[in-house]
Amino acid sequence: MAIDFYCYPKCGTCRKAKKWLETNDVNYDEHHIVEDTPSKVLMMELIERSGLDIKKFFNTSGQKYRELNLKEKLPEMTTEEKVDILVSDGMLMKRPLTFDDKHVTVGFKEEQFEQTWK
């Protein structure tokens, strides 16, 4: 079964992750995170399944994050409001976002991919 791999093609980290998946013969379905942004329902499921703080799903170093002043606004928002803003623009999401029915990884760390996707 293929894993879902949400990425931004121009992102260097996404390219490294994709290369890792290909080198390790991991079957994946690629999705453009901006053109095919995950739905609110899917994001809620992924956040819950991952056990991670929702902030980990935000691209905190991204221009859009800074433009919207989310560093200041997020602490005051409800989880639902955070998910709404997260799915409003794929550029706000930390990438790549990789998952299957059991596992979720956010970003790319080779050791984490080794443990999760090999």
Query: What tens digit of pLDDT does each residue of 9-60 get?
Result: 999 999 999 999 999 999 999 999 999 999 999 999 999 999 999 999 999 9
d(CA 10, CA 15): 8
At 2, the pLDDT band (50, 70, 90 cuts) reads: very high
pLDDT surpassing 80 at residue 76: yes
Residue position matching structure tokens 């690629």: 30
The pLDDT of 75-86, averaged and rounded, is 97
Preceding amide of 38 cis, omega within 30? no
Domains in the chain with CATH codes: 3-117 (3.40.30.10)
pLDDT surpassing 80 at residue 1: no
What is the overall mean pLDDT for the chain?
Answer: 96
State pTM to two decimals: 0.94
